[in-house]
Amino acid sequence: MKAICCIFLLTFLTLFTGCQDEDLGSPLPIDLQFEARAITSSTALVQNADKTWTASQRVPLVGEGRIVDDISSSLIAVLSANGGISNMLDTDLTNAASFDGAALADLIGNQIASVRDINHVYAGGQVAGFVYKISDISLLKANILKGFWLRTLLNGQVQETLGGNTSAATLALNILSAGNNEGQQAISISTTLTKSFDEVQIGMTSISLTVLNSLNLYYAFVGDNPIKPAVTGSTYFPNATIHYNTGLETVWTSTLLSTQAAKLVNSDLTDGATFGTLAGLLSNPYITVNLGTTVSAGSEIGFFTSNVDLLSINLAGGVQLTTFDSNNVQQEEITVNSLLGISALASGKGSQISMIIKKPCSQVRIKYNGVNISLGSTTVNYAFVRDPITVNISSYFSIGNATTSSNYYQLTPPTVGTVTWAITNAPAGATPTVTGNKITGMTVNGDYTLTATYTKDGVTSTQSATITRNATGMNGANCNALIGTAYNATPYQPPEGEAY
């Protein structure tokens, strides 16, 4: 009889559905499809009315809520062995993933890597891409750059693909490259306005063993830091002027360009100074722009130009960029004599010649060295500055929607910074509370809106997510009902006298 009682008790307990708070164990896996939440305007991410996100600056897709997705098995092995996957996702933007040509045969459709943001869907109409470096500078040729392609996806479905045509007459992608930047370049797609996305993928048509062995991927990104034109009366540099030669000075603006130089600082961004014919280029023409204020180290500074054919450019003696402080003391100087330092917008919409400064400066000079027929018709439109690239606050704390069948939900606090939680909406009849990092009192099925206020280094972001409690058939009205009632099942009791 003792054996019978024990078996019956165990069977009886398993036939009841749980109904007490916390009795169902861990919550169900997080729903990866993000919906409603908001981040304050102090960050570079702004949420739109349709719940997509727009980046007002470059937002590296690193840190919390970002994953390396859909990658070939060989590359996973190589990247994992070299710490490469974590290098692409950690918040140190100087870390990069390197590749092994042994994985070449297993590349899926010439795809190299893909990065997904599981808690944000980004609005179309903004740029998205990757920062990379090709260690062997001799490989920085037009046909290599044209071979890159970028693709955006949403929930695993391809939205659009650009690039990858090595025979194209123009670049399909934006190639961003500043000198003095450890060889890094950025490649991006200008997404279609109607094509939202949550994932960015990079690949290369007919990728070679040599290129793959030389390739380093730093991080994927959405958005870019805006160009700040240095023109008189502008928001950014209202006191910008041309620094003309005076007295015995010979380093500021050449006589050849003195009559055109003022066009660089007027409000018309489409005009500028044309450096001239072959004869004119013999004089190594140069122009200096005084920004009227000091810009910080880490910024990008240079000149926006037009009529430059990046695919056939011959830099000859190179293009020299020199920075000075407000006392006319030279700070840094580089010579751009490769595609490192020259950026080009897709379909020939302009280019930039620029550098990343290691020292603050307030003036910048551009000088063309030597005879260069391919630059003879180049027009320098204006000087510009871009702010340094920084890690966005979303990389340190990110929450997404979730579903649970419990009366509670366990929250995950950030590893850096602080967070406060609040329930801002709940189904009628429920009285949920948040204590520490745990929501309790989710006694009614429905959607609970969780708001999290996160602070790091004085910057605060407010995010919200929907925690859905769905315990139909397990909690609520059917609590403590025998499963047999609904499923025609009855407890099994052994016949009297039967041995076990």
Candidates 249, 263, 277; CA nearest to 383 is 263
Average pLDDT for 101-127:
80
Question: What local confidence, expressed as pLDDT, does residue 277 receive?
Answer: 54
> What is the pLDDT, as a whole number, of residue 201?
94
Q: Which residues are CB-neighbours of 287 under 8 A, at least 6 positions away?
A: 242, 253, 254, 257, 261, 264, 273, 365, 366, 380
Q: What is the pLDDT of residues 283-335, one digit of tens each?
A: 778 899 999 999 999 999 999 988 665 655 556 677 899 999 999 999 999 99
Distance separating alpha carbons of residues 419 and 430, to the nearest angstrom: 24
Torsion of CA 288, 290, 291, 293, to 10 degrees: 140
- Based on C-alpha coordinates, what's the Rg of the chain? 30
In DSSP terms, 60 is beta-bridged to 221
What beta strand segments (E) does 412-491 contain?
A: 418-425, 433-435, 438-440, 446-456, 459-469
78 vs 211, higher pLDDT: 211
Q: What are phi and psi of 301, to 5 degrees?
A: -135, 145
- DSSP state, 348? G
What pLDDT does residue 371 have? 57
Cβ atoms of residues 14 and 499 within 8 Å: no
The token duo for 248 is 């015995």
Category of 183 on φ-ψ map: left (φ > 0), alpha (ψ -120 to 50) or beta? left
Name, in order, each residue with C-beta under 8 angstroms of 335's C-beta and a sequence gap of 6 or more: 318, 319, 320, 321, 369
- pTM for the whole thing? 0.81
Task: Indicate whether 129 pLDDT > 80.
Answer: yes
Give the count of alpha carbons within 13 A of 161, CB side only. 14
Using pLDDT thresholds of 50, 70 and 90, give the confidence band for residue 181: very high
Question: Which residues 6+ apart lie within 8 Å of 369 measured at CB?
Answer: 284, 316, 317, 318, 319, 320, 335
| 49 pLDDT more than 70 | yes
- The mean pLDDT of 390-407, rounded to a whole number, is 92
CA angle 319, 320, 325 (to 5 degrees): 150
Domains, the chain, in order of start with CATH, read 45-222 (2.60.120.260), 228-386 (2.60.120), 393-478 (2.60.40.10)
To the nearest whole percent, how much of the chain has pLDDT over 70?
A: 74
The span from the CA of 362 to the CA of 181, in Å, is 19
Listed in sequence order, the residues at least 6 apart from 478 whose beta carbon sits closer than 8 Å to its beta carbon are: 17, 486
Instruction: Report pLDDT digits (tens) over 345-396.
Output: 776 677 899 999 999 999 999 988 765 555 556 789 999 999 999 999 999 9
pLDDT at 489: 43
* pLDDT for the residue numbered 390: 93
Rounded Cα distance between 307 and 274, Å, is 10
Q: Which two tokens stand for residue 456?
A: 């790091």
Which residues are registered as beta bridge partners of 344? 175, 351
Q: Which of 40-44, 268-272, 484-488 is most confident?
A: 268-272
